[in-house]
Amino acid sequence: MTADSKKSPEIPDCYYPNNPILITPDRPTPKESLYLSNLDDQKFLRFSIKYFYLFKKGICVEKLKKSLSKVLTEYYPLAGRLRGSNEKLEVDCNGEGALFAEAFLETYSVDEFLEFSNKPNKSWRKLLYKVDAFSFLDVPPLVIQVTKLRCGGMILCTAINHCLCDGIGTSQFLNDWSYLTSNPNSDLPIQPFHSRNLLKPRYPLQVTFPHSAYVKITPEMEQNDHFALDKYLQSQPLVSISVTFNLPQILSLKSKITPSQKCTTFEALASHTWQAWVKSLNLSNLVKVKLLFSVNIRKRLKPELPKGYYGNGFVLGCAETTVKDLTTNNISHGVKLVQQAKSTLNDDCIRSMVDFLEDKKVKTDLSTTLVISQWSKFGLEDLDFGSGKALQMGPVVSDIYCLFLPVMNHPDSTRILISSPQNNAEKFEYYITQIDQFNGFHNEDINNTPSDS
């Protein structure tokens, strides 16, 4: 694997020739209030997923606006506005429109930007127009900025409200937008399915499974040392770490797993990353640690969710154990924990989780937890508006979760991007790049790792 050592520089402010505009659907759309399921309406998801794309050649902005207007006719909730209270949100499908900004950044060419594009920093937020809004609810669910570079290349950044869709839905929307840009007189291959009623809770509620990804916070728990790590992690500056695993390295990692134990690339990399992350933190052996990871439920439910389902169709798988159990066993043990967490997520368990989330005092447990979100198998890297696929894609900012990202033109490779607390970054990078020695951690390993300072 290769760790990306090139630090990305602070980028200057973009130049905006005009004020952003609202792009509305090109035809009348349903005027309705769209119910959000308990999987959509989690406080854990009350943010916008910000995507970054770097294209060698720019696309005519007017052409992009026209196709966006057309695709919003089908994806009309993205042209609406969130409404509601802290307890429950819904989408007012009022056709108000998506925010579209055009900008210029003459400082860089595409090739220059590509050199450091694996490691975003906070200044990349300038690549997305900042909406002057009083609250989260006042920001349009879809914000887009097209930034032209010195050489004629283009950066496309989008902010899509996570309450409206997950990564699969985002990929579906972006690819449909690009499809209509290249094929303006065509219909969409698959129509988005917007109703979330299939994921309504049951009455009476039937919580029949434990849901260890979540916790109900009480004042007493907030004072417990269990939350000390969470506060420690939040108190430090974050450092972006980007590590790319190619196919031979992934196969080498899988070779450490018990021969009779088949596993996916995600399961192997997730276990490896979790172990490296926990070891880098120097926690007490008895501390319980968790790995949360997104699991697509579209085909796990009975009946399955309709094709084109456009909402959050994932739940959080949760593997948990003690620091000692995770770090003194080899990668096979971590893989087993991940597989066990996935295996419990059948229709009954998912329905129970939906009912459980009806309690709005329940929160995702992030206290001693690594969260992994997989972007590498959604087709996000296939986006093509007619001038070729992107040279690079990823997040605009890297301070949310650990991301498994696609590597452009290398479908069998995976890039892991994580923001680590500054004091732990060097040790984490050491552990995640040690495949050959990764047969279980022992106390003596600390003598061969970077210092804590």
Angle in degrees, 0-180, between the axes of helices 167-182 and 61-74, rounded to the nearest 10: 120
- What are the pLDDT digits (tens) for 132-181? 888 888 999 999 999 999 999 999 999 999 999 999 999 999 999 999 99
What average pLDDT does range 15-33 have in this prediction? 97
Greater confidence (253 vs 452) lies with 253
Contacting residues for 86 by C-beta, under 8 A, at least 6 apart: 360
% of the chain residues with pLDDT over 70: 91
Fold match flag (2-199 vs 214-448): yes
Fold of 214-448: Chloramphenicol Acetyltransferase (3.30.559)
pLDDT at 20: 97
pTM, entire model: 0.92
Compute the chain's Rg from CA coordinates.
22
Greater confidence (160 vs 218) lies with 160
At residue 321, does pLDDT exceed 70?
Answer: yes
- Tally of CB atoms within 10 A around 40: 23
Q: What is the 3-state secondary structure (H, E, C) of 351-365?
A: HHHHHHCCCCCEEEC
What average pLDDT does range 423-430 have in this prediction? 92
DSSP structure string for 252-273: HHHTTS-TT----HHHHHHHHH
Pairing of strands 402-406, 369-374: parallel
- What are the pLDDT digits (tens) for 51-82? 999 999 999 999 999 999 999 999 999 999 99
Closest CA to 243 of 377, 405, 392: 405
CA distance 381 to 401: 20
pLDDT at 233: 66
Catalytic residues: 162, 384
What average pLDDT does range 101-130 have in this prediction? 94
Phi-psi bin for 421: left (phi > 0), alpha (psi -120 to 50), beta? Answer: beta
CA distance 350 to 58: 43
At residue 232, does pLDDT exceed 90?
Answer: no
Mean pLDDT check: name the lowest of 66-80, 206-220, 370-384.
206-220
pLDDT band with cut points at 50, 70 and 90 for residue 446:
very low
pLDDT at 397: 87
The CATH number given to 2-199 is 3.30.559.10
Q: Where are the domains of the chain?
A: 2-199, 214-448
% of the chain residues with pLDDT over 90: 77
pLDDT band with cut points at 50, 70 and 90 for residue 392:
very high
At residue 248, does pLDDT exceed 60?
Answer: yes
CA distance 169 to 146: 21
At residue 445, does pLDDT exceed 50?
Answer: no
CA distance 64 to 442: 55
What average pLDDT does range 236-241 have in this prediction? 84
Mean pLDDT check: name the lowest of 137-151, 207-221, 293-307.
207-221
Mean pLDDT check: name the lowest of 23-27, 50-54, 146-150, 399-403.
399-403
pLDDT at 5: 62
Q: How far is CA 172 from CA 63, 169, 209, 378, 423, in A?
A: 20, 5, 32, 8, 39
At residue 46, does pLDDT exceed 70?
Answer: yes
pLDDT band with cut points at 50, 70 and 90 for residue 401:
confident
